[in-house]
Structure 1
Amino acid sequence: MFLTEPNHTPYDLHFSLFKIPIRIHPMFWLVAVLLGFNGSDPKTVVLWVATLLISILVHEMGHALVIQWYGWSPSVVLYSFGGLAIHNPYVQSNFGPGRGRRNKWTQIIISLAGPGAGFLLASLIIAITWGTGLAQYEVTTFGETMVPSGYNMNPSDRLLTYPYIALWLDFMLYFNIIWGLVNLLPIFPLDGGQISRELFQMFDGGLAIRNSLVLSLICAIGVAILGFQYDRKFIAIFFAFMAIQNYQDLNGSNRSGGNPW
């Protein structure tokens, strides 16, 4: 169900970016508000919703732009579980210089493009705030290269004057870095799970789907346990639900002997 496009409603918001149609389902707004709800400070809820909107849209546009480059015609949907970049394999894009260059790595590149776009956005935020002195960063030196290994958004006098800007930048870095890394875990239907499935299909023959699902199930259970252990109930429930879905897909794959998708 995570990869199922939600039904259209009269309350959908429609627009386009780079000729790519985008639809925001009303459940996106509801779930975003619930996840960031803070009755004592409603402004933080607005900041959190803005963070999810921008970050998930950037993530899905990363997928969509690479899909477009490969010659397909993509669209993006934001909904309750996050977002989907959808393409019709039978409709070609007029904007894709990569048409005809598809190979066995195509889906892996498309899957990596989403988290990669989020990491790029986080890097831009770090570069701008670090370069302008709006934030201070702990620095780790690799040879002659200095890499920020931690950050503090509060020391700048300019940011102290605008604490909500500092909080929003903190939200943006957290979501695009931490959730970008989580999204690369080999758990289906996350991007990492789809990458894992493609790699198994390249190198593991007829057992590829089953083995990718076994790995996905083990990882999902492990993250769910950690979520409960560290009192991150939403993470625990979210990954427990994915573990159940993977278990059901694994049983279906075992029964049919083929690809459950």
Structure 2
Amino acid sequence: MAFHFRFLKVPVSIDLSYWIFLLLVMGGIGGPYIESLLWSTVFTMSILIHEYGHALVALFFRAEPMIVLQAFGGRTFFNEAQTTAKQKFLITLAGPVFQGLLALTGYLLLQFNIFNSYVLNHFLFVTTYINSRWLLLNLIPIAPLDGGWLVRYILEKKFGRKGYLASIIIGLTAAAIAIPCFYFQGYHWFFIMQLFICGWHYCKLWQKEQE
């Protein structure tokens, strides 16, 4: 069961598993109901803006994008067979760029104190907080995070198969360093879990290459 809509010519599907996941993530925040609702709204908005970064560039390349929100976040699907390696790189890069711009916008609006409203300023604070931390996580060079795909595209293009193997080693190293760092920095368990999943994925890739 999923909720479907279309915006800016891009179809979006929000799976039931996303809402269950959102309840689990926001349940760990605690606090008043209104506070949880605010964080949930910003969290969902941030995912959609990030994925629309991917999707709008894919749409520009006529790659027929579709956004799916499910447990552990979102994903943009597009017709990879009709896109070049350079186009895939730009599509991947667009997500972090959109998210970075969102975090920067929230930060600048807070710094200039444009809104004389506690609610709006708190909304901007939550927006900046979530997106700046998420951007840092997402640029770690380990797939399926965007940073991992970007590093893989660059290394494969320059060094071929050796570049691909190097991207796996870089990803495993990044996961081993990032997991304890993020844990001691107090990141939410959602971000730590994503890193564990990514690290496990890379372990499987490395095992496959050794067979």
TM-score normalized by structure 2? 0.89
Mapping of residues 236-255 of structure 1, within 5 Å = 236-255=192-211
Percent sequence identity is 27
Give 5+ residue unaligned stretches, structure 1: 1-8, 93-101, 135-157, 256-261
Task: Out of 174-183 and 55-64, give the one that drifted further.
Answer: 174-183
**Partner of 1:120 in structure 2?**
101
Deviations for 1:65-95, whole angstroms, at most 9, x for unmatched residues? 00111121111001111111101346x8xxx
Contact 2:57/2:94 (8 A) holds in 1:
yes
Flag the structure with higher helix content. Answer: 2
Q: Which of 125, 146, 149 in structure 2 is aligned with 1:194?
A: 149
Contact 1:197/1:209 (8 A) holds in 2:
yes
**Residue 24 in 1 paired to residue 5 in 2?**
no
Higher RCO structure (Cα 8 Å, ≥6 apart): 2
TM-score normalized by structure 1? 0.73
Change (3 A) 1:89 1:112: closer
| 1:253 CA displacement | 2.4
Flag the structure with higher strand content. Answer: 1
Contact 2:138/2:145 (8 A) holds in 1:
yes
**Partner of 2:88 in structure 1?**
107
**Partner of 1:168 in structure 2?**
123
Change (3 A) 1:219 1:166: same
Mapped partners of 2:10, 2:177: distance in 1: 37
Contact 2:12/2:67 (8 A) holds in 1:
yes
Mapped partners of 1:232, 1:133: distance in 2: 29
Task: Out of 49-58 and 118-127, give the one that drifted further.
Answer: 118-127
Q: Which has the larger radius of gyration?
A: 1
Q: Which of 25, 47, 53 in structure 2 is aligned with 1:35?
A: 25
Q: CA RMSD in A?
A: 2.1
**Partner of 1:85 in structure 2?**
76
| 1:125 CA displacement | 3.0
Give 5+ residue unaligned stretches, structure 2: none
Q: How many equivalent pairs are there?
A: 209
